[in-house]
Structure 1
Amino acid sequence: MTDFTTLELDERDDRVVVTLDRPAQRNAITAEMIAELHTVCALLEARPKLLLLTGRGDHFAGGADIRQLRDRTRNDALSGINRTLFDRIGRLPLPTVAAVNGFALGGGAELAYACDIRIATTTTKFGNPEPGLGIMAAAGATYRLPRLVGTSVAKQVLLGGHILDADTALRTGLVIDVVEPGEHLDAAHRLLDRIGRSSALALRLTKTIVDSPATHPFADDIAQAVLFETEDKHTRMSSFLEKKK
C-alpha cells in the first residue's frame, strides 16, 4: 500500500481516506490510478470500512487522461475499464463519501457519482463533456446520474453539456452540503463520524437493499430479521432506553 504513485491512502480505525494525487494534471484519471483504486477496493472488500474519497489541490478530478483515452480501442471500451472500477466502488460494503472541490468532470464526475454521498464546495462543478470529444459518458453516468438528479437534469448534463455548479448540485440532491473551499474534508469527516456511530451491519444491509433493482419488501423483512437477532441491536436499544430514564 505504500507503493501508490497516483493516490495517497490514510487507513484509520473506521475509515480509509483516499486522495487522488495528480494535482498538476487536475487529478486526471489514468490507467495506473484505476489499477491503484482497484487495490483500494480489494482492501475494503476484505476489511470493510467507510471510504472518504477526495482530490489533492484545487480539483477533485478533471476527467480521464485524454492522451490515454485517445489511444483506447473498441476492445478497451468493451472491457469497461473505468466503468468496472466505478461499479466496484458503488458495490463497496459500507458507505462511501466523496469530498468534491473544484472540477469533477467526465470520468471524475462519474467517480463522484459512484459514491453514496457527495459534499461540495462553492467552487465545485460537475459535468460530462464527453460528446464534445466524440465519445459518451460510459462509466456509469447514464444510469447513475438519472437516479441521482432525475432524467431531465441528467439529459441536460449528458446531452446538453450543462455544468452543474454547487448550488444546482445541492438543489437537485446531487450533494448533501456545500461548504467553503478547504472545509470539505472536515465536513466529510463529520459526516463519516455520524455514519460511523451506526451499526456497521445495519449500514451494510441498508445500502445493499437500497441499491438493489426494483422493489424488495421481502428483502427488507429478511434483513431486518437478521438485525433483530444481533447483540448490537439489543445493546443499542437498551442504551437508548436507559438514557430516556
Structure 2
Amino acid sequence: MPDAPSPLVTIDRHDDGVAVLTLQNPKVNAISSEVLRQIRAAVDALNEHLPGAVVVTGGERIFAAGADITEFSGPDEARVIGGLFLDAFNSLAALPRPTIASISGFALGGGCELALACDFRIASTKAKLGQPEILLGIIPGGGGTQRLARLVGPARAKDLIFSGRQVRAEEAREIGLVDRVVEPDELHEASLAWARELAAGPSAAIALAKAAIDQGLEGSEAAGLDLEQDLFVEVFGTADARIGIESFLEHGPGKADFTGA
C-alpha cells in the first residue's frame, strides 16, 4: 500500500488552550482547492472542541503565496474556487474564539486574505503583504476587497488592490494591516504568548463580544447597538460572568480565574 499523502493543513493543540493551525503545502504554500477544503475541515474540528485561541501560520519564508493559479481557466472554475475561498475563510472568521495570523514571510493574494479572516495579525520584520491579483488582470476573490477595505479604509485598500504592490511589515502596521511587528526569531513565541493571554480570558464573553463587533458591522449602528444589548444580557448567564463579578467584589479587578463557560 502506498503511503497516505501528508495533510496540507494541520492542527496542534497545546495544553494552555492554544491551537495552532498550520498550512503545509510545499513549495510556496499555494492555497489550492484541496487546501481550502482542509482549512474548512480544520475549522470544523476546532468548532467541535473549541480551544481558547487559535494561531494561524504557514511557512517560515512564505506564510501563503495565494491561490493556485493552475486551477483557474475560466468563469466556471473561478466561481467554484471563489466559493471554496469564501466557505473556508468565512468559517475561520466566524470561529467564536480569538484568531491570530502569524506571518513570517510573504502573505500575498489568498494568503493575505487568509490573514484578513483572522481577528489579529502579527508579522515578522521580513514579512510582505499584498493583493497582487490585478497584475494578472483579475481581482481578489477570497474576501480581499471587503475585509481589507473594512480594516484599512477604502482609499488604502484601493491603493493596494489597484497597484498590486507589496507592503513591508512596518508599513503594514502603520496602515493598520497588521497589529504587531517583531523580529523573525521572536515571531513564534510572541504569537503563542499573545494567544495564551487571550485563551486565559473569559471565552464565553469573548465569543459574544466578537459576535457583537463582527455582526454589528454588517448593519446600521442602531442595529448593532440593539445586538450589543441582547448579547450584554446573555453574557450575564455565563459562569465566567459570575466568577468575574464575585472575584472583582472580593479581590479587585484582574484576579479572576475563568473557566471559559
TM superposition shift of 1:95? 1.3
The equivalent of 1:75 in structure 2 is 76
Q: Alpha-carbon deviations, 1:15-42, whole Å to 9, x = none?
A: 32111113x4221111221111111011
- Of 79-88 and 126-135, deviating more is 79-88
Tell me the distance in 2 between the aligned counterparts of 1:8 and 1:225.
37
Tell me the distance in 1 between the aligned counterparts of 2:21 and 2:134.
29
Structure 1 unaligned segments of length 5 or more: list them: none
Tell me the distance in 2 between the aligned counterparts of 1:244 and 1:114.
36
- Of 179-188 and 228-237, deviating more is 228-237
Report 1:39-118 matches (<5 A).
39-49=41-51, 50-69=53-72, 71=73, 73-79=74-80, 80-118=83-121
TM superposition shift of 1:194? 1.4
TM superposition shift of 1:47? 2.3
The equivalent of 2:259 in structure 1 is none
Q: Is the 8 A contact 2:37 2:84 kept in 1?
A: no
Report 1:1-245 matches (<5 A).
4-13=6-15, 14-22=17-25, 24-49=26-51, 50-69=53-72, 71=73, 73-79=74-80, 80-212=83-215, 213-214=218-219, 215=221, 216-244=224-252
Tell me the distance in 2 between the aligned counterparts of 1:78 and 1:67.
15
TM superposition shift of 1:3? 6.9
TM superposition shift of 1:113? 0.6
Q: Alpha-carbon deviations, 1:200-234, whole Å to 9, x = none?
A: 11111111111111221121111111112323212
Tell me the distance in 1 between the aligned counterparts of 2:7 and 2:242.
45
Q: Alpha-carbon deviations, 1:158-180, whole Å to 9, x = none?
A: 11223221111111122121001
Cα RMSD of the aligned pairs, angstroms, is 1.9
- How many matched pairs? 241
Tell me the distance in 1 between the aligned counterparts of 2:113 and 2:87.
12
SS of the aligned residue for 1:164 comes to strand
Tell me the distance in 2 between the aligned counterparts of 1:106 and 1:230.
40
Tell me the distance in 2 between the aligned counterparts of 1:183 and 1:3.
32
TM superposition shift of 1:43? 0.9
- Of 43-52 and 148-157, deviating more is 43-52
- Of 95-104 and 44-53, deviating more is 44-53
SS of the aligned residue for 2:29 comes to coil
Question: In structure 2, do the counterparts of structure 1 residues 9 and 230 end up closer, same or farther at CA, with 3 Å as the change threshold?
Answer: closer
Tell me the distance in 2 between the aligned counterparts of 1:37 and 1:228.
33
TM superposition shift of 1:68? 2.4
TM superposition shift of 1:4? 4.9
Q: Is the 8 A contact 1:4 1:36 kept in 2?
A: no
Q: Alpha-carbon deviations, 1:145-169, whole Å to 9, x = none?
A: 0111111110111112232211111
**TM-score, normalised to structure 2's length?**
0.86
Q: Alpha-carbon deviations, 1:103-123, whole Å to 9, x = none?
A: 000111111111110001101
Q: Is the 8 A contact 2:134 2:163 kept in 1?
A: no
